[in-house]
Amino acid sequence: MKTQDPGDAEIKTQNTRGGQTKTLTTYILVMAVLLVLVIVGSIVFAVQSSNRITGNSNNINSTQQTVASLQTQLSSANTTISSLSNQLNAANTQISHLQSQESSDQTQITTLQTGLKPLQTGLTSAQSTLTSLQTGLTSVTTQVSTLANQLNSANSQITTLQGNVSSSSTQISALQTQLSTITSQLTSLQSSVTTLTTEVSNISSSTLTNNQIILFTSEGISQTYNTQNLLYTFTPTYSGYVDISGSSSSSTGYIRVTNNSLNSTTTYAFATGTVVTAQLTAGYNYTLYFGNTDTTGTITATLSGFYASSATINNQSTLFTSQGVSQSANTQTLLYTFVPTYSGNIYISGTSSSSTGYIRVTNNTLNATVTYAFGTGTSITIPITGGYSYSIYFGNTDATGTITATLSASYAQ
C-alpha cells in the first residue's frame, strides 16, 4: 500500500477550500442570471399580452390583471436581485479573504514542500534499513529454527543419558556386592601370600647371584658385506657377563665388544650362529657390535643379548619380546601364563608411560599374588617354583588417561 505524503494531504486541503469558494460564487451568479431571465420572460409575456389586448378587446380586463400580477412579480424579483447582489458582495468579500489566505497557504505549502524533501530522503533510507532488517530477521528465524531442532535432539540425548544413569546405578549396586565378595577372598589370600613370601625368601639368594638384565631380544639385522652394526651400548653397575645368541646368514659373522672407557676391543667369532659370552667390568662403558668379513652380498642376523652377574644362565627361554600394552587408568593386562618345569627366575624389562606401573605375578596353584613396582621402566627378577601355574600381569594405579608399555620377559634356571 502506498503511504500518503503529509505534504500532499496539506496541499489537497488548501485546494479543496479554494474550490468550495469558487463554487459558491458560481452558484450565486447562476441564480441571478436565472432570475433576470425569469423577469425578462415575464416582460416579454406582458408585451405579448398587450398586443393581444389590442387584437382582442374582450381580454383587456384579464390582461390588465395579468400585467398587474407581473408587475408585482417584477417588484419581488427586484427585491430578490437586490438581496442576491448583497449576497454577491459578501461572497466577493469572502473570496478576497480566501484568496489572501490561499496566498498565505501557498507560501506555507512551499515551505512545507522544502522541508518535506529531507523527510522523503530519510523515508527512503528508513525503507532501505527496514528491508535490511527484514532480511536479518529471516536469517535469525532460520537460526532459531535450527537451535530449536538442536534443543529437541539434546532433550532426546538427556532422556537416553538418564536411562543410562539408572542402568549404571544398577551396575554399581552389583559391583558393590562383588566388592564385598572380593574383600572376603582377599582375607583368604593373605595366608597364601605368607606361604609365597617364605618361598621367595628361600630362593632369593640364587636370584641375587644372577641379576639378569635383558639387553635386546630377537633383534633383526640386515647389512652389506664387510660392515658391522651397533647392537647395544651400556655401563654395567656390577661386574658380570654378557651372553649373545642367535643366528646369521654369514659364515664370517662376528661379535665385537668395545670397552669405550679403555678404548680396547675384543672380537668373538659368531659365524652362522652360536653363543658368545664376554666378561665385563662394572663402571666401564661398553658397546656391542655384530659384523661380517664377507666380500659380497647382504648379511642378515637375528640376535638376543642378556647381562648377568654369573657366567652361566641355564635353560634360558624367551616368554615374550617387545610386547605392546595399552590400557585404561587403574587396570591391569594379562601378559603371559605358563607352568615352569623347574625352579628359577623370570626376568622382565621394558618401559611404560605410567609412574605407577607395576608387574603382578600370581601363583594360580596357591592362589597367591606378589606385586612389584615397575614405574616408567626397570628390570625385575622374580623367583618362581617349578610345577606351579603362574600368570604375569602389567597394571597401573593412575586415576585418569591411557597407559602404554613395551615389555620383554625370559625365564631361566
Q: Where are the domains of the chain?
A: 6-136, 211-308, 317-412
Per-residue pLDDT, 49: 66
Cell numbers found for residue 128: 532501505
Residue 116 has φ and ψ, to the nearest 5°, of: -70, -30
Backbone phi and psi for residue 212, each to the nearest 5 degrees, phi listed first: -70, 140
**What is the pLDDT at residue 209?**
39
Q: Average pLDDT, whole number, for the chain?
A: 82
> Could you name the CATH architecture of 317-412?
Sandwich (2.60)
Q: How far, CA to CA in Å, does 41 sit from each of 26, 32, 68, 74?
A: 22, 14, 15, 11
CATH of 211-308, one of 3.40.190.10, 1.10.10.10, 2.60.120.660, 2.60.98.20: 2.60.120.660
pLDDT tens across 277-327, in order?
Answer: 888 988 999 999 999 999 999 999 999 998 987 654 556 778 898 899 999
Residues contacting residue 189 through CB under 8 Å, at least 6 positions apart: 367, 368, 369
Q: How many CA atoms lie within 13 A of 151 on its CB side?
A: 6
Q: Maximum distance among all alpha carbons in the chain?
A: 188
Q: How many CB atoms lie within 10 A of CB 393?
A: 19
With DSSP H G I counted as helix, E B as strand and the rest as coil, what are the percentages for the chain, rounded to 5?
50, 30, 20
Mean pLDDT of 243-266: 92
Residue 54 has pLDDT above 50, yes or no: yes
Note the pLDDT tens digit of each residue in 232-248. 999 999 888 898 988 89
Q: Kindly report the length of the chain.
A: 413
- Residue 334 C-alpha from the chain's centroid: 38
Rounded Cα distance, 51 and 227, in Å: 167
Cα–Cα distance measured from residue 251 to residue 292, given in angstroms and rounded to the nearest whole number: 8
412 touches 212 (CB < 8 A): yes
As a whole number of angstroms, the distance between CA 149 and CA 143 comes to 10
Task: List, as one string, the DSSP characters of 24-57.
Answer: HHHHHHHHHHHHHHHHHHHHHHHHHHHHHHHH-G
Three cell numbers, residue 251 = 659364515
C-alpha cell at 85: 447582489
232 in helix, strand or coil? strand
The two domains 211-308 and 317-412 share their CATH topology (first three levels equal): yes
Dihedral sign for Cα atoms in the order 183, 185, 187, 189: negative
Q: Can you give the pTM of this predicted structure?
A: 0.33
Distance CA 133, CA 125 (A): 12
Q: How confident is the model at residue 212 (pLDDT cuts 50, 70, 90)?
A: confident
